[in-house]
C-alpha cells in the first residue's frame, strides 16, 4: 500500500470514529441538569400565584365586610328617625296616661275624703280606726290613762271590749299603731287570769292560746291583767296600774 493510500485509510478511520462518538446515546443526567433551572422557575411561579391568590381573596373579604358595614350603618341611620319618632310617640302617650291616672286618683281621694267626713257613711265612730271589719279605739292622746278595770268599763260603754287579738295580722296592725307613738309603753288588752291564777283567758272566755301560740311574761300572783308591748309580747301587770288601752268592736 502506498503512503497516500495509507493516509486515506487513517483519515477514514478517524471520521468513522468521530461519527460513532456523535451517534452514541446521551446520559439521562445530562438532560436533567440542563432542565433543572426551568423546574426551579416553575416552582417559584406557583408560589407567587398562590400568594397573589390569597392576597386577592383577603382583599375581597375586606371589601365585602366594608360594604356590609356600610349597608348596616345606612339602614340604621335610615331607621333611626322612625325609631326616635316611635319612642317620642310612646313617651307622649305614657305621660298622658300618667296624668290621667293622677287626675283620677286626685278625684277619688276627694270623693273618699268627702264620704269619710259624712257621719252617715262612716263605718266607725269618730276617732276610731277601721281594720278588716272591726273598729279600734286607741286611747293614747285622746283619754287619760286608766286602770285595767276602768279601761274595760270605757270599752263596754262604747259597745266594745278590750281588744281580743285573734291572729298575727291583727297583732301587727295594733303594733303598727303603737309604733306611731314612741312614748307609748304598753296597751291594756282583754286578757286576764283574775278568775283562776295562771289560767289566762281572753275577754271572750277563750284560752290564751286558742287563737295564737302566745304566753304571758312576768306572771305572778299579784299580776292578773295583761298588757301588750313591742314585738307582740304580752306581760302580766298589776290591774291597778294606769295606762292607755285599745278597744275593739264590730264595724
What's the pLDDT at 134? Answer: 97
pLDDT above 60: residue 30: no
pLDDT above 60: residue 158: yes
User: Are 6 and 86 members of one domain?
Assistant: yes
66-79: buried (b, 16+ CB within 10 Å) or exposed (e) per residue? Answer: eeeeeeeeeeeeee
User: Are 141 and 246 members of one domain?
Assistant: yes
User: Are 162 and 59 members of one domain?
Assistant: no
- Per-range mean pLDDT, top range of 61-75, 80-94, 132-146: 132-146
Residue 65 lies in a domain: yes
Write the pLDDT tens digit of every residue in 205-221.
Answer: 999 999 999 999 999 99
Query: Strands 234-237, 216-217: parallel, antiparallel or unpaired by DSSP?
Result: parallel
User: Are 64 and 162 members of one domain?
Assistant: no
User: Are 18 and 67 members of one domain?
Assistant: yes
- Per-range mean pLDDT, top range of 2-11, 91-100, 112-121: 91-100
What's the pLDDT at 63? Answer: 57
Q: Which of 154, 158, 140 is nearest to 228 (CA)?
A: 140
User: Are 238 and 158 members of one domain?
Assistant: yes
User: Are 83 and 172 members of one domain?
Assistant: no
What's the pLDDT at 150? Answer: 98
pLDDT above 80: residue 251: yes
Domain count for the chain, please give it.
Answer: 2
CATH number of the structural domain spanning residue 218: 3.10.100.10
Q: Which three cell numbers stand for residue 142?
A: 285622746
In contact, 149 and 207? CB cutoff 8 Å = no
pLDDT above 90: residue 224: yes
DSSP-based three-state secondary structure for 212:
coil
What's the pLDDT at 4? Answer: 42
Domain of residue 55, residue span:
1-91
Q: Which of 36, 66, 91 is the last residue of a domain?
A: 91
Amino acid at each position: 500500500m502506498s503512503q497516500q493510500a495509507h493516509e486515506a485509510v487513517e483519515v477514514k478511520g478517524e471520521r468513522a470514529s468521530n461519527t460513532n462518538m456523535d451517534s452514541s446515546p446521551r446520559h439521562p443526567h445530562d438532560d436533567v441538569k440542563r432542565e433543572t433551572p426551568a423546574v426551579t422557575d416553575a416552582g417559584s411561579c406557583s408560589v407567587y400565584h398562590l400568594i397573589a391568590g390569597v392576597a386577592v381573596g383577603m382583599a375581597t373579604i375586606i371589601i365585602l365586610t366594608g360594604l356590609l358595614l356600610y349597608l348596616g350603618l345606612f339602614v340604621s341611620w335610615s331607621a333611626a328617625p322612625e325609631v326616635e319618632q316611635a319612642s317620642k310617640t310612646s313617651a307622649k302617650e305614657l305621660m298622658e296616661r300618667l296624668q290621667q291616672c293622677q287626675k283620677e286618683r286626685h278625684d277619688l281621694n276627694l270623693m273618699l275624703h268627702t264620704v269619710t267626713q259624712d257621719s252617715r257613711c262612716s263605718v266607725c265612730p269618730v276617732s276610731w280606726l277601721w281594720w278588716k271589719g272591726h273598729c279600734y279605739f286607741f286611747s293614747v292622746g285622746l283619754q287619760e290613762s286608766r286602770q285595767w278595770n276602768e279601761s274595760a268599763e270605757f270599752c263596754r260603754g262604747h259597745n266594745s271590749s278590750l281588744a281580743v287579738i285573734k291572729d298575727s295580722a291583727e297583732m301587727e296592725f295594733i303594733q303598727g299603731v303603737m309604733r306611731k307613738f314612741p312614748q307609748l309603753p304598753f296597751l291594756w288588752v282583754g286578757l286576764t287570769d283574775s278568775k283562776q291564777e295562771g289560767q289566762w283567758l281572753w275577754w271572750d272566755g277563750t284560752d290564751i292560746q286558742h287563737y295564737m301560740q302566745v304566753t304571758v311574761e312576768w306572771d305572778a300572783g299579784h299580776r292578773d291583767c295583761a298588757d301588750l308591748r313591742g314585738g307582740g309580747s304580752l306581760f302580766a301587770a298589776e290591774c291597778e296600774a294606769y295606762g292607755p288601752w285599745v278597744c275593739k268592736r264590730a264595724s
